[in-house]
Chain A
Amino acid sequence: MSDLMKVTIDGITVEVAPGTSILNAARQIGGDIVPPAMCYYSKLEGSGGKCRTCIVKVTKGSEKDPRPMPKLVASCRTTVMDGMEVQNITSPEVLEARSGVVEILLINHPLDCPICDQAGECDLQNLGYEHGLQKTRYEFERRTFERIDIGDKIQLHMNRCILCYRCVFTADQITNRRVHGILNRGDHSEISTYIQTAVDNDFSGNVIDVCPVGALTDRTFRFKNRVWFTKPVDAHRNCDHEKCTGKVTLWYKGEDVLRVTARKDQFGEVESFICNTCRFEKKATSDWTIEQPTVIPDTSVIASNHYETFKPLPVIKENLALQQANKVELEKSTKF
């Protein structure tokens, strides 16, 4: 056990393998102390460090060098050191800086949640709800782009994009041919395909799943339904595509499968990427073997009134600061 690194996040100590990032160490602890991540995606190499929502404060660098780090660091790209002490939700400085990042992410966002297909499962929406201000201080015209159809299955709605680069990494690493990138720079940068060529390969649909906001949406599902009216069900089929596992989530409305997505874990990351045939073509119950209702984390509005409830960790019951930070959730969990 000697090669494990001991790291303390918000007073909770965990031992992790060397080379683990602070974010992944926090995910091993779980609960409210996990920093939000908009651009980091554990399955995509090189992702992270861009959105700055996962910033944390390192109050003690390591056992050897106990100096605190001078700036807030991006937890997704900072590796842990032995004896490191990190503050996330217990540090007012972090929370303030994070709400600043959220405000900045939202200044050019159209805030069209009422007509956005991602609403209900949108990371930015959750983040805005937790940290955002109720009123924006930005009084200028927001940046707008034309909507672009990338092929007949995917639509790019650049106005909503937060430039997390996840889809670029997906197109680079998961699909065969790179057809996807960033044009221009600064706040005019936009995700684009090569002169609007259709994205055409077997795994292109995964860019919809990795998108943390509603910038890349499934054209077969557009405006069909709100996600919280649909019922997610885990299912699988024997997909003949060599790289596709065929493990998916079906989203039912009554008897109809409205859409098919990859299964997502509690941090909103897909468990395995699925092929376009599974995603876009197989929309009948007879195509699938149903397993069970999908477990939806209680952070999601899809779970409103059912599924998981908040289970406070033992340490939260002991630590006053954490109790204060989790006050709302604790009240909710004791109400019923």
Chain B
Amino acid sequence: MGRKLLLEHINVPGIHTLDIYRQKGGYRAVEKALKSLTPDEVVEEVKKSGLRGRGGAGFPTGMKWSFLAKPEGVPRYLVCNADESEPGTFKDRFLMTYIPHALIEGMIVSSFALGANTSYIYVRGEMMPQIRILEKAIAEAKAAGLLGQNILGSGYNLELYVQPGGGAYICGEETALLESLEGKRGNPRIKPPFPAIAGLYGCPTVVNNVESIAAVVPIINDGGDEYAKIGIGRSTGTKLISASGNLVKPGVYEIELGLPVEEFIYSDEYCGGIANGKRLKATVAGGSSVPILPANLTLKLANGEPRLMSYESLSEGGFATGTMLGSGGFIAFDEDQCIVRNTWNFSRFYHHESCGQCSPCREGTGWLEKVLHRLEYGHGKMSDIDLLVDVSKKIEGNTICPLGDAAAWPVASAIRHFRDEFEWHVNEPVKSQTSNYGLANYAVPIEKQVEEVKSQS
């Protein structure tokens, strides 16, 4: 059994209430931080822990905190990014639904470390139940003197607000989130200046993912050094993985970073293998925006070593043979799934969610989607495949925010690894129509392609 830090008490009935949460050792971190540590010591602990941002980019949280500008007389803000909308990722929603107090405790400790007296949790608009749960939990914490004026007699004041978003994926980008929080149209800002210098209302701001903030709690409880012992290399601690797709037991799992991918998929402790006795065809390891990998490259690196669930191991080999840990949205595809259809589906999402501010993403995502739609429905041409690669290259890296990259990577990687399947869609337009709806025979040419790559590696 891997160690559980965030989800240790997830099965305790009533853990969403303050009483049970405190009985299980909750709010120890608040007491420890506010009574015995200075804000700088808290930042130092987080730095020592090596915690990396759990929202997708993997930027060290402690470093992000230490970049925060601290001019005199200007308020500082902590904003929690709970605008989780990446297809395949649902770990934050799980955390907020079942242990809302873990997030609130983390918010108090983190706000204390950053010297913020007003903090916001920006929750995606569709998550109304979670917003109510959080508001109820905040009211409980306030009644217990854990929020508000003079928390636990330490003289530290904190107001915590939950702000529902409008349900836009782009508002998960930190500067778009801040714009939205200010009441404006959720367009990403042009950086620099970074939020650490001029963020919410022009004041220094830190934006962190729900899981990053919740992970501060065990770091303060046990110490940063203790946390850094878990995991492998620069990927320290535990990570919530939202496993979905054709798995026997999809769900949210807390893993120690460094767990072999094969064990994660096939072990009974985690996903329990591929559903209905089928074979694994491909995985998307970190939410829809990271490159898709065929089964063989998911389980093994290009040199035959086993691939591990860690920031480094998943990105081993760059984009040629690697992917990214991203936000931990692990999607598994069995042999009956159509990669072209899946790529089109992802593209459709990015087309729908592009904010329309900068031109490559606004126009390019629509173009990708239309070409993929044509391929999927049997009207494609052989030249479309190269066109897709070319268009995705023109979007990638030329946009204001990473949404452009996120739209381009799945398409480019799907063609890189599953070109045979795209070509098959062009060559067999009629056959590909029927097998899209789950007929098993189309897996045959794909399987051959997977084996081919295997023999090369």
Q: Is B410 an interface position by the 8 A CB rule?
A: no
Whether the pair A49, B358 counts as a contact (CB closer than 8 A) is yes
How far, in whole Å, are A49 and B401 apart by their CA atoms in the complex? 11
Contacts of A181 in B (CB 8 A): 185
Contacts of B366 in A (CB 8 A): 108, 186-187
The smallest C-beta distance from B59 to any residue of chain A, in angstroms, reads 15
Q: Is the interface of B mostly helix, strand, loop or mixed?
A: helix
Contacts of B394 in A (CB 8 A): 97, 100-101, 103-104
Q: Digit string of B153-188 for contact with A (CB within 8 Å is 1, else 0)? A: 000000000000000101000000000000001000
How far, in whole Å, are A103 and B395 apart by their CA atoms in the complex? 11
Q: Digit string of B264-307 for contact with A (CB within 8 Å is 1, else 0)? A: 00000000000000000000000000000000000000000000
Whether the pair A184, B356 counts as a contact (CB closer than 8 A) is yes
The smallest C-beta distance from A78 to any residue of chain B, in angstroms, reads 9
How far, in whole Å, are A108 and B362 apart by their CA atoms in the complex? 10
Whether the pair B359, A52 counts as a contact (CB closer than 8 A) is yes
From known contacts A77-B190, A104-B363, A105-B363, infer whether A185 and B398 are also in contact, taking CB-CB under 8 Å.
Answer: no
Of listed B190, B353, B363, B400, residue having the most chain A CB within 10 A: B363
Contacts of B168 in A (CB 8 A): 185
From known contacts A72-B397, A107-B363, infer whether A185 and B190 are also in contact, taking CB-CB under 8 Å.
Answer: no
The smallest C-beta distance from A200 to any residue of chain B, in angstroms, reads 23
Which residues of A137-183 have CB atoms within 8 Å of chain B's CB atoms? 137-138, 140, 162-163, 165, 181-182
Which residues of A91-143 have CB atoms within 8 Å of chain B's CB atoms? 97, 100-101, 103-105, 107-108, 137-138, 140
How far, in whole Å, are A100 and B190 apart by their CA atoms in the complex? 21
- Counting contact residues on chain B (CB < 8 A from A), the size range is 20 to 34
The smallest C-beta distance from A154 to any residue of chain B, in angstroms, reads 22
Contacts of A162 in B (CB 8 A): 359
The smallest C-beta distance from A153 to any residue of chain B, in angstroms, reads 27
Q: Is A50 an interface position by the 8 A CB rule?
A: yes
Q: Which residue of B lies closest to A143 (CB)?
A: B366
Which residues of B390-409 have CB atoms within 8 Å of chain A's CB atoms? 391, 393-395, 397-400
- Counting contact residues on chain A (CB < 8 A from B), the size range is 20 to 34
From known contacts A52-B398, A97-B398, A140-B370, infer whether A186 and B358 are also in contact, taking CB-CB under 8 Å.
Answer: no
Of listed B170, B362, B365, B393, residue having the most chain A CB within 10 A: B362
How far, in whole Å, are A50 and B357 apart by their CA atoms in the complex? 6
Q: Is B146 an interface position by the 8 A CB rule?
A: no
Q: Digit string of B237-277 for contact with A (CB within 8 Å is 1, else 0)? A: 00000000000000000000000000000000000000000
Q: Is A74 an interface position by the 8 A CB rule?
A: yes
From known contacts A186-B352, A186-B354, infer whether A55 and B363 are also in contact, taking CB-CB under 8 Å.
Answer: no
How far, in whole Å, are A163 and B363 apart by their CA atoms in the complex? 11
The smallest C-beta distance from B446 to any residue of chain A, in angstroms, reads 27
How far, in whole Å, are A184 and B354 apart by their CA atoms in the complex? 10
Query: Which of B190, B365, B400 has a CB less than 8 Å from the CB of A186?
Result: B365
Contacts of B190 in A (CB 8 A): 48-49, 74, 77
Whether the pair A163, B397 counts as a contact (CB closer than 8 A) is no
Whether the pair A50, B359 counts as a contact (CB closer than 8 A) is yes
Q: Is B355 an interface position by the 8 A CB rule?
A: yes
Q: Digit string of B79-97 for contact with A (CB within 8 Å is 1, else 0)? A: 0000000000000000000
The smallest C-beta distance from A244 to any residue of chain B, in angstroms, reads 30
Whether the pair A137, B358 counts as a contact (CB closer than 8 A) is no
Q: Digit string of A211-247 for contact with B (CB within 8 Å is 1, else 0)? A: 0000000000000000000000000000000000000
How far, in whole Å, are A105 and B359 apart by their CA atoms in the complex? 6
Contacts of B351 in A (CB 8 A): 186-187
Q: Is B387 an interface position by the 8 A CB rule?
A: yes
Whether the pair B367, A72 counts as a contact (CB closer than 8 A) is no
How far, in whole Å, are A130 and B52 apart by their CA atoms in the complex? 45
How far, in whole Å, are A247 and B394 apart by their CA atoms in the complex? 42
Of listed B170, B398, B399, residue having the most chain A CB within 10 A: B398
Contacts of B354 in A (CB 8 A): 185-187
Some 18 contacts from A to B, beta carbons below 8 A apart, are: A49-B400, A52-B358, A52-B360, A52-B398, A77-B190, A101-B394, A104-B364, A138-B367, A163-B359, A184-B356, A185-B353, A185-B354, A186-B355, A186-B362, A186-B365, A187-B365, A188-B356, A189-B356
New contact pairs (17) apart from A97-B398, A188-B356, CB-CB < 8 Å:
A50-B358, A50-B359, A52-B360, A71-B397, A72-B398, A74-B400, A100-B360, A100-B394, A101-B360, A104-B359, A104-B363, A104-B395, A105-B363, A186-B355, A187-B362, A187-B363, A189-B362
Binding site for A on B (CB under 8 A): 168, 170, 185, 190, 351-360, 362-367, 370, 387, 391, 393-395, 397-400
